[in-house]
A and B are shown apart, each in its own frame.
Chain A
Amino acid sequence: MLVATPGELTPEMLSALWRVFSAVDTTWGLGGIAPALRSQWQELLVSRIEAQPSYFGEFENAVLVVDELVSEFPDRWSEFLFFETVVVDETRVSTRLQHAKYFVFNDFLRAFVMLGGFASFGGKNYTGYMGGSRFRDVPPVRTGAL
C-alpha cells in the first residue's frame, strides 16, 4: 500500500472520489440510489483512513488518478476505469492506476453492491447489507411457501 500520514479528506478530494462512487450507479444501472448511500460511503472512507495501515495514501493517489482520467478521457473515463482497467491480483499492483483501481475503486464497487445495489439484481438481502430486524411483519429475506 502507499504510505502516507493519515489525514482528513478535503472537500475537493471527496468530490473526486464521489464522482467515481456515483458513476457505479449510472454505469451499471443500480437504481439511482447513490445519494442515499453517501453517508455510508463516507463512513467507509473514514474507517479506511483510520485502519492500520491507513488507506489515506491510496485515497490521495486515487484522487490524482481520477483527475487525470477525467482530463484525458472526459467522455469515457468511467468506461476506461471500470471495464478497461481490471485489477484483481494484489501482487500485480504497481502503477498508480492499478493502485487506485485495486485498493480504492474495487472497494467502491463491492461497497455499492452490498449497501443496496444488489437489490436491482433481484435480491432482498445481501452479505454486508443491514437487512433489518427479523421481528418486522416483512421478513428480511425472500421466503418460500412453506
Chain B
Amino acid sequence: MKESYEYVIVGSGLAATLVTEALLTADPSSSLLVLEAGDRIRMRDRSSWWDLAMRGKTPYSQTYDVETGDTAESFSKGGTTWGFKESRVRAFGGSTMHWGGWSLRFQVEDFECFTRTGRGADWPFGYSTLEPWYEKAEEVLAVGGAFKDLDCPPRRGDFPLPEFPWTAHESELATAFENAGLNPGHMPIARFHRCMTTGTCKYCPIGSRYTAQEHFEKIVSRGYPSLTVKTNAPVVRLEADESRVNGVVYLLGNTEVEATAENVVVCAGAIESPKLLLRSRSSAWPHGVGNNRDQIGRYLVTHSMLRVKGRAPTNPGRWFQEYDFPTLMSRSWDSEARQRRGKVFVFNNRTLPRVDLGAAMVAGRRRSEVDAVAAGPRQAGLDAFIEEFGHWDNRVTLGTNAGGFGLPSTDVHFTRSADMEPTSRIVLDAMGKMLTSCGYEVGDADKTLELPRGDHSSGTCRMGVTEAESVTDANLRVHGLDNLFVCSNAVFPTAGAVNPTLTLAALSLRLGAHLSAGGEE
C-alpha cells in the first residue's frame, strides 16, 4: 500500500524547514511527509555542551562524511583534492546544526555573472527579485549587521538586529584594511536576541543561533494534523514517468516504502540532491530523472579558503579571540571590478589570537608561566573565500561503494581553474601586507590556498532558462517534470564569494510562497 501526501519533502535542513513552514502556514491542513536520512541530535544538552566548551568535541561529529578506511563513503576523484570532512551535518536539521551564522546577501552582479564576465552562468532572475526574500530570510534567521557598511548589496532597510562590535584586535585589523584600500565592515551574523556571547556557537547551550532542527521542532510542536516527519528514512529513488514523479521510495530499516505526492521537493543539499536524481532511472529517464541533457551533478563549485597568518613577539594587550566568530569583514574585493578574476570575501580568522589558558594549566604551568602565555607571542590571521566558476567537468557522480544510510557513495570530480593559483597568490600577498602593517611577521609559508571543501558546495542542479543549460527553472521546478522541485544550494548558477545560507533561505521562502500559491507566477 502506498502512502499518499500533497507534498513529500526530502531532507530536513534549512530549505526543508522553510518550505514546510510556508506550506503549512498557508494551509494548516496540508498533508506533508518529510523524510530525513539521518537521526535526531539532542539540542541544548548540558553534557554535550561541556564536551564542546572544554574539549572542542561536538555531539554531531559522527554524522560527518568518512573519507578514509574501509568505511569510506566519499571519494575525491578529480585533479584537485576535495575535502568532505566536517563539511556537512547529516542529521535532522542538516548543516545549520554546525554553521557559523554568517548571513550575507549576494551582490547584484552575482546574478549576472556570465553576461558581465563570460564565465559561470547567469541566474534566471536578478537581485531585485530576491531582495524581498532576503529581507524575510534575515528576519527568520535574526541577522545582525550594520546598514552603514560600505560595498555591501543594496538594501531597503536596516538589519533586524544591530551588528556585533569589533573586538580590540579586529579594530586594529580594520585600520589595516583601510590602509590597504578596503572598507572594513561588520560580519552579518545570525544570532537571536537572547545570545549571551558564550563563544560555543557550534553547539549553543541556549539556542541563540538559528538551527533548522529547533525551528523544525517548533513547527512539529504546533500540531499540524497532517504533517509527518520521519528520521532514519533515506530516500532510495524517485519513480517518474515522462512528466511526473509518481513515487518516492524510502527505507525504513531494510524495508522499502513508497509514498506518492502531488509535489516532491528535494532539499537534500548540493551533493545528495543530484545523487538522488541521478539514481532515479526509468525508461523515461534512463540517465536519471530530469537528466536527459546531462546537466545533473555538473558545474560543482565551492569556495576555496585563502589563509594568511602572522606572528608578533608579544601580546601586550593580552588579546585573544573573545567571540566564536569574526565580526570584521570587507566586501571591497567582492566587487564588480574583480568579478572576472574571481571575487574575494575577506574576514578575520575566527580563532586568532588564540590563548588557551586552560591547556597551559593542564600542562602543569605555574601562574607566571601562564601569564607568559597570555602576554607572549601572538598570532593573527586573515581568511578569505575566493569565487570559483562552474565547469562542465567538475561534478558529483554516484560512487560504486556503499555509502552512508545504505545509499551509494559519493564521487566528486573537481579540478581547480587554471587561474586559481596565480590569482590566489596575488590576493594572499595583499592580505599578508595587511598583517605586516600591523606589526606581524608573515612568511611565504604563512600564506596558503587551502584545499576545496564541501561546506559551500553548489551548482549541481543549477537553475536557468532552458533544459540545455540547467536542471531547474526559475521556480526551482525540474525541467520536463510537472511536480518535482529542487531547493538547495545545488540550484545556484553561481556562488559569488560569500556564504550561501542566506541566499538558500531566501530561495526557500520564495519557493514556499510559490507552491502555496498553487504554482502561480
Contact = CB atoms under 8 A, between A and B. Distances in A.
Interface stretch (A15-23, A68-76, A133-141): A133-141
Contacts of B167: 141-144
Given A125-B197, A141-B167, A47 B374 contact: no
B287 to A, nearest CB: 46
A86 B165 CA distance: 39
A36 interface: no
A142 B199 contact: no
A110 B54 contact: yes
B54 to A, nearest CB: 4
A2 interface: no
Nearest to A83: B364
Nearest to B175: A146
Given A43-B46, A134-B164, A109 B362 contact: yes
Given A83-B364, A121-B357, A146-B174, A111 B197 contact: no
A88 B361 CA distance: 11
B3 interface: no
B466 interface: no
Interface stretch (B98-106, B319-327, B386-394, B442-450): B319-327
Contacts of B171: 143-146
Interface residues of A, number: 47
B146 interface: no
Contacts of B184: 146
B319 A142 contact: yes
A123 B320 contact: yes
B254 interface: no
A131 B46 contact: no
B366 interface: yes
A122 B374 contact: yes
Contact of A86 (B53, B170, B363): B363
Interface of B: 46-47, 49-50, 53-54, 162, 164-172, 174-175, 184, 193-200, 317-320, 322-324, 355, 357-359, 361-364, 366-367, 370-371, 374
Contacts of A134: 162, 164-165, 195, 197
A50 B164 CA distance: 35
> Which of A24, A135, A139, A146 has its CB near the most chain B CB atoms (within 10 A)?
A146
A74 to B, nearest CB: 21
Interface in A88-146: 88, 106-107, 109-111, 113-114, 117-118, 121-135, 139-146
Contacts of A146: 166, 171, 174-175, 184
A130 B366 CA distance: 26
A82 interface: yes
Contacts of A140: 197, 322
B380 to A, nearest CB: 13
Contacts of B162: 134
A132 B364 contact: no
B200 to A, nearest CB: 6
Nearest to A122: B318
A32 interface: no
B370 A127 contact: no
A122 B167 CA distance: 14
A119 to B, nearest CB: 10
A114 B167 CA distance: 18
Given A106-B362, A122-B318, A144 B166 contact: yes
A47 to B, nearest CB: 4
Secondary structure type dominating chain A contacts: loop
B364 A128 contact: no
A131 B54 contact: no
A117 B269 CA distance: 42
B370 A83 contact: no
Contacts of A139: 165
Contact of A141 (B323, B370, B371): B323
Given A28-B370, A123-B322, A143-B166, A48 B197 contact: no
A51 interface: yes
A81 to B, nearest CB: 10
> Which of A28, A51, A109, A128 has its CB near the most chain B CB atoms (within 10 A)?
A128
A101 to B, nearest CB: 9
A6 B245 CA distance: 52
A20 B488 CA distance: 51
A50 B358 contact: no
Contacts of B175: 146
B358 A114 contact: yes
Contact of A121 (B53, B198, B374): B374
Nearest to A124: B322
Nearest to B144: A134
Given A107-B54, A121-B318, A130 B361 contact: no
Nearest to A107: B54
A125 B50 CA distance: 17
Contact of A127 (B165, B318, B324): B324
A109 to B, nearest CB: 5
Q: Name the 7 nearest CB pairs between A and B, nearest first.
A: A144-B171, A122-B318, A128-B53, A131-B197, A110-B358, A125-B322, A141-B322
Contacts of B362: 86, 88, 106, 109-110
A142 B165 CA distance: 9
B47 A111 contact: no
A2 to B, nearest CB: 17
A114 B356 CA distance: 10
A48 B50 contact: yes
A50 B363 CA distance: 28
Contacts of A51: 47
